[in-house]
Structure 1
Amino acid sequence: MLLQTVRAPVLHTVSIAGLRPTQMTIGRREVERRANELETMARDERRRYLADHAVPVVKGPKGRLYAIDRHHLLAALLLSGAEKVAVKAVLDFRDIDSGTFFEVMDDLGLVHPFDDEGRRREYDDLPLRIDDMADDPFRSLAGALRRGGGYSKDRTPFSEFLWADFLRRRIARTRVETQFETTLAPALELASRGEARELPGWHANGGVSIASVPSAPTPA
C-alpha cells in the first residue's frame, strides 16, 4: 500500500461544514476567545492571519477532507459567521479503505478519539462535523494555562489534551465549569510539580512562584 505525502501543499478554499474533525472535543471558552479575536481584526489583518494559518488536512476515503489541526480556529470561524477556510492537503490517503483509515491515522498520531471525560472511544464515535464537537472545559483550562506560562507550546500531537487530562484528574470539573477564573492559580501550581515533568512543554516552576498560588483542591 502506497501512502502519499503532498510534497508542496497548495492552498484551497473549502467549506468548513464539509471538513471532518479528527478529535471529539474542543474547549468552548477557547473557541469564544478566538472568535472575539477574529472579529476585532481589520479585514486585511484577518485575511493575512487566515492565510498564515491554513488548516492542514488529510485526503481520506471517498475524497473526504479531515482536519488534523486548528479545530478551535475552525469552530471560531463558524461562530463568527464564516463559511469557508483555506486548507492545505499534507497527506493523501485516498487509496486506504475506510476500515483501516483511522487505524493508520492513529498510528501516525493524527486522530484523538477521546471524549470530554478523557475516555477513549471508538472511531465511529468521532463527530462528522466541526460544530458537532463536544465541549471539554479542561481543554479551555489547558489553553489558559499555556498562555499563563504554565508550559510552553509544543509540537507533540494533541499536547493540550494531555495537559487537559492531567488537570482533570486533579481539579474538580464543577469548579472549572462554574468558577473558571479561579482555577488558573491551582493549575499553575500543578504545572510546576515534578509529576507534570513528562508532559509536553513542561518547564520547572511553570513560570510562576509556587508560593504565590494556593494549593489545588481535591477532585470531587
Structure 2
Amino acid sequence: MTSPHPQLVSVKLEKLRPTQITVGKQEVALKRKEWEKLNKRARTAALERHWFPAISGPEGNHYIVDHHHFGLALMEEDVKSVSLLVLKDLSFVEPARFWTVMDHHQWVHPYDADGVRCKFDMIPKRLEQLRDDPYRSLAGELRRAGGYAKDVTPFSEFLWADFFRSRISRTLLKDNFAKAMIKAMKLGASQDARYLPGWTGLIVG
C-alpha cells in the first residue's frame, strides 16, 4: 500500500538506481572538489541534512529522481550510505509497467548523450555506470554563473543542454570550455531560449 507521506530511509549508495542515462562529469568533479574541502564533522552534517528524493520500486530497489551528480560524487569519494526521502511506494507495480508509471510522473529521463530518447532498459542500474554528457556540464555551469534561474521543472538542466547541443560544437566544448561558456551565456539570454525553464533574458558577467 502506498504511503500518503514521504518517508526517510537509509540506503547503501551502491544500491541506488538512477533514473537517467547521463550526467555532466565535469559537474560531478566540481562536487567532489567541494566535498574534499569539508572536514569530517562538516561531511557528517552535510549527509544528515541531505535527502535524495526517491521512489521505491519492484524487487526492493530505490530509484533516485534527482541529485544524480552529488550521488555519483559521493560514491567516488567512498561514501557508503545516504538518506532517501521516499516520495512514492511503487514496489507493488509490475516490473513491466514500472517505467511507464515513472515516465507518466516525469520521474525518468531516458535520453542519451546525444539527446536521443532511448528504451528504458538503457538506463544504468548503478550510479557509476552513468555516461558523460558535456552539454549537461555546460548547462550546470551556466546556471551557477547566473545565466538562468534554478527551476522546479523536472530535468530542467537537460532541456538547456539540448538547447546548446545544436548551437555549440562538441569540439569547442572539449577544447575551450571558457569560450563555450561565453557563447552559452549569449545564447541563453536570447529570445530563442525564452521557452526554457528559468530563462531571464539577461547576460551576466
Sequence identity (%): 40
Mapped to 2, the partners of 1:8 and 1:20 lie a distance apart of 18
Q: How big is each residue's C-alpha offset from its partner over 1:2-59, in whole Å with a ceiling of 9 and x where there is no partner? A: 7x2450422x221111111000000000000001101111222222222222111100
Q: Which amino acid aligns with 1:177?
A: K
Of 115, 118, 133, 1:118 maps to: 115
Structure 1: segments with no counterpart, 5+ residues: 209-220
Mapped to 1, the partners of 2:182 and 2:104 lie a distance apart of 36
Corresponding residue of 1:29: 26
Q: How big is each residue's C-alpha offset from its partner over 1:53-85, in whole Å with a ceiling of 9 and x where there is no partner? A: 211110001111101111000110011121221
SS in 2 for 1:89: strand
Mapped to 1, the partners of 2:162 and 2:80 lie a distance apart of 32
Structure 1's consecutive aligned runs of 4 or more residues displaced over 6 angstroms after TM superposition are: none
The number of aligned residues is: 205
Corresponding residue of 2:104: 107
Going from structure 1 to structure 2, the CA distance change for 1:6 and 1:206 (only over 3 Å counts) comes to farther
Structure 2: segments with no counterpart, 5+ residues: none
SS in 1 for 2:7: coil
SS in 1 for 2:5: coil
Mapped to 2, the partners of 1:206 and 1:127 lie a distance apart of 36
Corresponding residue of 1:97: 94
Contact 2:6 2:85 in 1 (8 A): no
Compute the TM-score of the two structures, normalised by the length of structure 2.
Answer: 0.96
Corresponding residue of 1:163: 160
SS in 2 for 1:95: coil
1:145 aligned onto 2:142: yes
Mapped to 2, the partners of 1:6 and 1:56 lie a distance apart of 15
Contact 1:25 1:116 in 2 (8 A): yes
SS in 1 for 2:137: helix
